[in-house]
């Protein structure tokens, strides 16, 4: 059978390690997902595509006979993302938009809803669209899951639902919430993620949709597109090209991160072992670091002395869509009690990303 990521040996290695680790011997209920049909929205995104490829890898290595239906907005992009893998027949591409009602023939057992806006600049330039995609899109996926009477669903949320924490010295568990300014257009993402979570819980309570929430910390690794606009990719791109890493803030914000393979593993654990109406933080608790220190790490690790970190704060900083400075260390104990654990630290996250298809795009 055709391998899942022929053009990226690092990603292929990740997928095969994941398939090897998610087994009954390690407490993963693999039998539950055998012979099932899994619907994935946002299937050409980093995590959506890797979920689909991971399930395909299960099929090849473990004969799980899972069918994947990948909801995509662009057939051309989907064909580039999945390539020859589509020839195997276990992935069906479905062109559509979560902002419209979803119709798909046949039974669906599981739903993973990952379609979302992801760019901070987009949040401030298109706040209405950011909100509508989160709420209308999630409602359409929930209606679809309700109609199909699915066995499980995961909504991919974000650490941004926590806002600005009141206590910066403690790890943030799932019941800890900070302040979000509803009159800031940058809050279009954070507030709509909060409301989408509430919508999920409401569908679970009122209509019995067995939906769980994965609150993702910033996630990256093998398979990240070279032109990705997020901060972690900008740092790596500068280092690979030997350019200085320019910060437009003092870089004091602290966040925790998660490797893409580990996040895919977490999503599948939550799907099969998580409790409906519950949220789970997805992060590697050992990766908490400030933006400035992360930039310095990347300059040293990937830049090899060819670049340095420069602070240049522009007058129109609001247009960049940055959040206020904060310290947000997520607590993943609840997820780890399901049997999940992270495997890749921050430096290795960058090294594996740079060694994958990311660097080949230079």
pLDDT tens per residue, range 153-175: 999 999 999 999 887 678 999 99
Confidence label for 359 from pLDDT (cuts 50, 70 and 90): low
Q: What is the bridge-based pairing of β-strands 284-290 and 254-259?
A: antiparallel
Q: Measured between alpha carbons, how far is 127 from 75 in angstroms, rounded to an integer?
A: 26
pLDDT at 147 over 50: yes
Structure tokens, 349: 């996250």
Long-range contacts of 354-357 (CB under 8 A, 24+ apart): 354/236, 354/239, 354/240, 354/302, 355/10, 355/222, 356/8, 356/9, 356/10, 356/11, 356/221, 356/222, 356/223, 356/224, 357/7, 357/8, 357/10, 357/11, 357/222, 357/223, 357/226
The set of residues, in sequence order, having a beta carbon less than 8 Å from that of 126 and lying 6+ positions away, is: 117
Higher pLDDT, 141 or 226: 141
pLDDT at 320 over 90: no
pLDDT at 44 over 60: yes
Give the pLDDT of residue 362.
40
Q: Measured between alpha carbons, how far is 241 from 234 in angstroms, rounded to an integer?
A: 11
Give the pLDDT of residue 33.
97
Write the pLDDT tens digit of every residue in 74-117. Answer: 999 999 999 999 999 999 999 999 999 999 999 999 999 999 99
The three-state secondary structure class of 179 is strand
pTM confidence score: 0.94
Q: How many residues does the chain have?
A: 362
Give the pLDDT of residue 312.
83
């Amino acid at each position: 059978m055709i391998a899942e990521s022929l053009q990226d040996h690092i990603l292929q290695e990740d997928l095969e390690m994941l398939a090897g680790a998610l087994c009954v011997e390690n407490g993963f209920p693999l039998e539950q997902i055998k012979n099932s049909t899994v619907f994935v929205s946002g299937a050409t995104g980093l995590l959506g595509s890797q979920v689909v490829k991971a399930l395909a890898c299960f099929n090849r290595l473990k004969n799980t006979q899972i069918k994947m239906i990948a909801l995509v907005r662009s057939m051309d992009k989907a064909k580039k993302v999945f390539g020859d893998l589509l020839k195997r027949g276990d992935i069906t591409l479905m062109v559509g938009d979560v902002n419209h009602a979803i119709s798909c023939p046949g039974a669906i057992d599981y739903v993973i809803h990952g379609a979302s806006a992801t760019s901070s600049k987009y949040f401030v330039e298109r706040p209405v669209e950011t909100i509508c995609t989160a709420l209308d899109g999630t409602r359409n996926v929930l209606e679809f899951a309700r109609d199909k009477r699915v066995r499980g669903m995961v909504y991919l949320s974000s650490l941004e639902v926590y806002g600005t924490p009141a206590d910066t010295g403690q790890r943030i568990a799932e019941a800890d919430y900070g302040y979000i300014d509803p009159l800031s257009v940058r809050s279009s993402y954070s507030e709509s993620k909060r409301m989408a979570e509430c919508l999920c819980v409401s569908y679970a309570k009122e209509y019995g949709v067995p939906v769980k929430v994965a609150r993702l910390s910033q996630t990256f690794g093998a398979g990240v597109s070279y032109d990705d606009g997020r901060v972690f990719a900008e740092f790596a791109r500068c280092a690979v090209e030997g350019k200085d890493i320019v910060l437009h803030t003092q870089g004091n914000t602290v966040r925790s991160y998660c490797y893409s393979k580990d996040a895919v593993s977490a999503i599948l654990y939550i799907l099969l072992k998580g409790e409906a109406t519950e949220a789970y933080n997805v992060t590697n608790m050992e990766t908490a670091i400030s933006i400035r220190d992360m930039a310095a790490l990347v300059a040293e690790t990937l830049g090899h002395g060819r670049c340095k970190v420069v602070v240049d704060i522009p007058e129109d900083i609001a247009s960049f869509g940055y959040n206020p400075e904060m310290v947000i260390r997520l607590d993943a104990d609840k997820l780890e009690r399901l049997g999940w654990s992270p495997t890749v630290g921050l430096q290795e996250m960058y090294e594996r990303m740079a060694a994958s298809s990311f660097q080949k795009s230079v």
